Structure 1
Amino acid sequence: MTLPRILVLATGGTIAGQAGDAMRADYRPGQIGIEDYLKQASGLGVAADFTGRQIANIGSEDIDASIWSRLHAEIDLAMRDDGVDGIIVTHGTDTAEETAFLLDLTLPSTKPVVLVGAMRPADAVGYDGMRNFANAVRVAGDPDAAGRGVLVVMGDRVHSARDVRKAQTRATEAFRGFPRESVAIVTPSRLDWFGAPWRVGDAASLRFLPLPDVPILAVYAGMTAAAAARQLSDDPPGIVVSGLGEGNMPDPVRQILVQHARRGCLVVRASRTDEGLVDREPQDDANGFVASRALAPPKARLLTALLIANGITEPAEAQRHFDGR
């Protein structure tokens, strides 16, 4: 049997974390190096021809532009390397949805790219990381995974980068998807897709470029214009509103954001709710706002920053990109 040739790019996280005691609740992420991890995986029978590279060894709350840039460059090279069949990124769960979405927007879909993490450290009772990793190998080694964009594997489920989000702080079934709950079920021995690939032959949607700082404005009941203005004092090039309900906000806050939109700031209305669509409302045209549709604030922030970096700042054109997610 020919083994799949898998490039594993390690960034740390709980999947490489240790507590020093199988019963402890606290632990340190990013303690196991990729070479040791791959030896352990191979020893357990995870079948692949692995190449491992350590990009970082951190908790994913500390992921930053320099790590994203190196990840993107390594995966871009692997996409053009005939000796690589698929790419796995081991990653902390806190920001896995953001890294996956950024890579999904800026990479072609010609080879499988899979992010995988864990909710328990490697020396804890019930460690879930090695099973998740074995599942990720099953997905990354499947030719039918190409054409599906970047995928996230957690808890025997495969999620699209567009849909996935972390929905719980501790449970091993911590990830959910919207509008698609998941796109496949996977175990170390079996993979069942729920539909055909949806990005066959697709190039990257946007160029990977340095990202401007786009803040998320957290809206709450009774928020004043002064409170909003304090958060937006640096006149950012874009703002994502974590709004009430379907991207709503108190009228004083709306008026502050209209002023920002009129000076050329790209203002995107998203929702702080767990899931749901944010559609355009009649006032959006006059206000110069964009509706985030299915994207929650963290992903809406990334898309907004990428659009600005790519020179797309006109609300109607930006809206077309959000509509296409």
Structure 2
Amino acid sequence: MTPPRILVLGTGGTIAGAGSGATGAAYRPGGLALETLIAHLDALGLVAELMPQDVARIGSQDIGWAEWQALHVACESALADPAVDAVIITHGTDTAEETGFLLDLTLPSPKAIVLVGAMRPADAVGADGMRNFANAVKVASDPAASGRGVMLVMGDAVLAARDARKAATSAIDAFRSFPRGPLARVTPASLDWFGPPHRANERARYSFPQALPRVAILTAGAGMDEQPVEALLGIGCKGVVLAGMGQGNAPASVIAALSQAAARGVPVVRSSRVDEGIVDRNVEVDDDALGLVAARALGPAKARMLLMVLIANGITDAAEVQAAFDGA
């Protein structure tokens, strides 16, 4: 049987990090070459042909338009190439949910696309990168992985990119899946899917934009006023995501300023600074009257990403934006 051919796109991150010592806290993200990581993985005897391609060697806090564009082009090419069976992207964990969600929104799902990262650098005691990488190969090699959208493999779990979020700063099991649970459990020796592919034969939901508009996240705090809203509009924000209290709430003056922005054609989405939960319409804030959008299950980071993609695709009407969030 011919081993699967998997394109591995490297962006850096902790999984390729190198520290000053096995017990030190400081390290340099992306310090190890992708070829070095793959050589370590090859030593495990995994049945797969891994084809490395460097995109970047950075910490994911610095990832942006250039890297996203390069990843999208490489993924599109791999999806169209019959000689490539799947794609793995090594990525820092800080913004893995944003990269994964952007690709999930703008790519079809005929082949597996798997993001993988690590919470500890490669030379640290108890490093998790090689296990996560081996698990990602296990997932990407499985024909049943296709039709599930972009996925994230961390901590022996397979998470849908639409649901994955980083919920801890440094814990080894830092990622959670909300509102839906994991798609599968995986180890280097086993893979158990919890359901059939949910995106089989699905086309890309949105076109990949030529550029991303400026959209800001405004975090609500007790005692704040409307001036931060005015400042964001003053620097040319085309959309605003409120990381609000509770179900996306904020002081009355802030909500009023956001409503005025919405009336001027700037889409405004209410999400929550709370770690987990649904932001519904018309609970404490009258979205219908104020022209605001409820983020539903998306946290601030994903809400910002979806709003950028929507605006770039010419979708700015509050009702249409709300429909997109309802279906995310």
Contact in 1 for aligned 2:217/2:304 (Cα 8 Å)? yes
- Alignment partner, residue 258 of structure 2: 257
Structure 1 match to 2:315: 312
Look up the match of 1:237.
238
Matched pairs, number: 325
Shift of 1:227: 3.9
Aligned to 1:75: 75
Identity value in percent: 56
Give the partner amino acid of 1:202. E
1:115–1:153 contact (8 Å) kept in structure 2? yes
Please point out which of 283, 286, 290 is paired with 1:287: 290
Unaligned runs of 5+ in 1: none
CA distance in 2, matches of 1:290, 1:164: 22
Provide TM-score, normalisation by structure 2.
Answer: 0.97
Quote the Cα distance in structure 1 between the aligned partners of 2:260 and 2:166: 33
Q: List aligned pairs for 1:1-325, cutoff 5 A.
A: 1-209=1-209, 210-281=211-282, 283-325=286-328
Letter in 2 for 1:245: G
Distance 1:190 1:296 in 2: 31
CA contact (8 A) 2:214 2:236 kept: no
Contact 2:86–2:111 at 8 Å: present in 1 too? yes
Aligned mates of 2:11, 2:226 — CA distance in 1 = 40
Report if aligned partners of 1:246, 1:271 keep a CA contact under 8 Å in 2: yes
Contact 2:215 2:239 in 1 (8 A): yes
Give the deviation of 1:245 after TM superposition.
0.4
SS state at 1:215 partner: strand
Instruction: State the SS of the aligned residue for 2:234.
Output: coil
Shift of 1:322: 0.5
**Cα gap change, 1:149 to 1:118, in 2 (>3 Å):** same
Aligned equivalents of 1:231 and 1:173: distance in 2? 35
2:188 counterpart letter in structure 1: P
Consecutive unaligned residues in structure 2, runs of 5 or more:
none
RMSD: 1.0
